A and B are shown apart, each in its own frame.
Chain A
């Protein structure tokens, strides 16, 4: 096989990323073109760009699918994309103004996301035969585990894009916004499939730098600026600490490749290098914990969630966090292999878990700002998931060579919960965007009785909150049940008990929101001045139905998560 063929085959494995990257470039070009849209020839330019993008995507798709040996015909999708795009750009010329400004880049991103998602689903099915996948470019591991997270990222990108298009507080700079958003998701997709310290660092930085910019995107709002600065400073420090940890892990693990590091560390007993490796692990895990906002690296979280534009908060709470978990699980699975290290790594995770769930729930208790409440609740959920990460090795028994292996059921519960968490949190934040816009306030005290005015969205929000609490028949209930099972099987009964106590606490504040919405009659509520677009409500209802669907029939998501976990 020639070098070029190998190259194209590699490209085929990272197809979703390439499609997203192309989308980002298109967004940028569209924005550039729209800046000078006053002149007539811009229409021509739009057409050229559209056609070029369409044909380019089509060519890419065909080449990749050929390289993968699968007949995937993407021409139809590209044609649809092109048609939509031409229509909107032409419409834009006729209906100048804010609405189209907002819509056009968003639609491009939606189209690109769908295309990439289509591609990712194809990859997933291609991997069903061999979940371990393959290593591409010698650096990345495209296995079903990473594709699962890629799918999560794409769903998040889709929904966040829809939210953004309906988010009225963002007034300009849509091109830049979507570029950053797509860039962040690209970073996630590289991050979740990387098996190499350099790629982890790069992916994480791509994700982080884009997120910093996104958090501060509402330039006129000082709260947004404050969120951005807190995020960038805290994140910069954390990633520097993480990198220092990487440098030690590299030196003592003797490689940049995670698998090799694991093998090497498992081979070395805890000797005199114990302290250096310990520092390396502490720095690495600490720096990564910041990404998922686990206590005690969570300090940025409530402030940034509150200050950032709500769609960005949604993204941070969902996709960014899932990506962080993807890496942490991979690294814990690698570092914990060694006989001496397993106990240390899992104990650290257990401590972080206990602290996170307790702190998150306690912090949420007295919040009135709903975004902030959800921020604390997300810290608590990180605690629940970390419970399963601590029990990742199950009741570990050493395999050949004295190394330990990940319990696939534990990994499955993590993946399932991340999926569940994504659905219900996307819904919850979306409903907050909707209701906050209608009420003109994110503060719960202004929401009294609004439930009767906005029955559909409020009702769906209650479903999401039930799911976040973990009450059947919702997806959250089943996910939490899996986590508890994992923790108990892994010997962390005390964590499971603590989590149960915490769940009782969390009931209180989740129900506070429901109480506020429905306990007072409609007459006493503030009037609803603005009503967001109906498409928003449709998206939310769809997410609500998914929440219930996976709650009643969990096996659909569970089998996917199980298949993906098998790749670890």
Chain B
């Protein structure tokens, strides 16, 4: 393994940051979900890279964790999209600032 671990962690950190920036800067709920997916991918890279570096029983554990993350991400995407479409039905918008009946 010639690529040092720190490069993987750095890549994960970059994805995390971009994901956060997408979340806070784009004005569309679907974009927010995309940002979440980027963060999850960053976390997964961490899991796999660390697992490989730790060795022992961890390569399997890292793989399993990542698979669960992927599965749950899909489930979450489904729920979130169902809710977003539902909101679209009520408010006619997918901008995060438009559903704004509840405040203060």
Instruction: Give the dominant DSSP class at B's interface.
Output: helix
Cross-chain contact B23 with A223 (CB below 8 angstroms): no
The stretch of A117-125, A129-137, A243-251, A485-493 that contacts the partner chain: A243-251
Q: Which residues of B contact A176 (CB under 8 A)?
A: none
Check A230 for interface membership: any CB of B closer than 8 A: yes
Interface positions, chain B 21-63, Cβ under 8 Å from A, are 23, 29, 32-33, 35-36, 39-40, 42-44, 46-47, 49-51, 53-54, 58, 61-62
Interface positions, chain B 49-87, Cβ under 8 Å from A, are 49-51, 53-54, 58, 61-62, 64-65, 68-69, 72, 75-76, 79-80, 83-84, 86-87
- A39 CB, min distance to chain B CBs, angstroms: 31
Q: Which residues of A contact B96 (CB under 8 A)?
A: 233
Identify the interface centre among B42, B64, B90, B96: most chain A CB within 10 Å of its CB. Answer: B90
Check A544 for interface membership: any CB of B closer than 8 A: no
Check B3 for interface membership: any CB of A closer than 8 A: no
B39 is contacted by which of A198, A229, A240, A256 (Cβ under 8 Å)?
Answer: A240
Q: Which residues of B contact A216 (CB under 8 A)?
A: 83, 86
Docked Cα-Cα span, A256 to B32, in Å, equals 29
Cross-chain contact A254 with B54 (CB below 8 angstroms): yes
Q: Which residues of A contact B68 (CB under 8 A)?
A: 198, 201-202
Known interface pairs A201-B72, A241-B39. Does A233 touch B32 (Cβ–Cβ under 8 Å)? yes
Check A455 for interface membership: any CB of B closer than 8 A: no
Interface positions, chain A 261-306, Cβ under 8 Å from B, are 276, 302-304, 306
Docked Cα-Cα span, A232 to B84, in Å, equals 9
The stretch of A10-18, A97-105, A205-213, A460-468 that contacts the partner chain: A205-213
> B-facing mask of A213-232, CB < 8 A → 1, else 0?
10010010011011111101
Interface positions, chain A 345-401, Cβ under 8 Å from B, are none
Cross-chain contact A205 with B76 (CB below 8 angstroms): yes
- A510 CB, min distance to chain B CBs, angstroms: 19
Docked Cα-Cα span, A216 to B102, in Å, equals 14
Cross-chain contact B83 with A250 (CB below 8 angstroms): no
Q: Which residues of A contact B100 (CB under 8 A)?
A: 226
Docked Cα-Cα span, A276 to B72, in Å, equals 25
- A105 CB, min distance to chain B CBs, angstroms: 21
Q: Which residues of B contact A201 (CB under 8 A)?
A: 65, 68-69, 72
Docked Cα-Cα span, A413 to B49, in Å, equals 41
Q: Which residues of B contact A229 (CB under 8 A)?
A: 29, 83-84, 86-87, 99
B40 is contacted by which of A222, A225, A240 (Cβ under 8 Å)?
Answer: A240
Docked Cα-Cα span, A185 to B101, in Å, equals 29
Known interface pairs A240-B43, A244-B46. Does A198 touch B102 (Cβ–Cβ under 8 Å)? no
Docked Cα-Cα span, A241 to B16, in Å, equals 8
Q: Which residues of A contact B16 (CB under 8 A)?
A: 244
- B39 CB, min distance to chain A CBs, angstroms: 4
Cross-chain contact B90 with A222 (CB below 8 angstroms): yes
Check A184 for interface membership: any CB of B closer than 8 A: no
Closest to A213 in B: B79
Cross-chain contact B86 with A219 (CB below 8 angstroms): yes
Known interface pairs A222-B90, A226-B87. Does A232 touch B99 (Cβ–Cβ under 8 Å)? no
Check B18 for interface membership: any CB of A closer than 8 A: no
Docked Cα-Cα span, A233 to B23, in Å, equals 10
Docked Cα-Cα span, A219 to B40, in Å, equals 30
Cross-chain contact A226 with B99 (CB below 8 angstroms): yes
Cross-chain contact B91 with A244 (CB below 8 angstroms): no
Docked Cα-Cα span, A256 to B29, in Å, equals 32
- A444 CB, min distance to chain B CBs, angstroms: 15
Q: Which residues of A contact B61 (CB under 8 A)?
A: 198, 256
Q: Which residues of A contact B23 (CB under 8 A)?
A: 237
Identify the interface centre among B43, B49, B86: most chain A CB within 10 Å of its CB. Answer: B43
Residues of B within 8 A of A (CB): 9, 12, 16, 19-20, 23, 29, 32-33, 35-36, 39-40, 42-44, 46-47, 49-51, 53-54, 58, 61-62, 64-65, 68-69, 72, 75-76, 79-80, 83-84, 86-87, 89-91, 96, 99-103
Known contacts A201-B65, A223-B102, A241-B39, then 10 further A-B pairs from the complex at CB < 8 Å, ordered by chain A residue: A198-B64, A212-B83, A225-B89, A225-B99, A226-B99, A237-B35, A237-B36, A244-B16, A251-B54, A256-B58
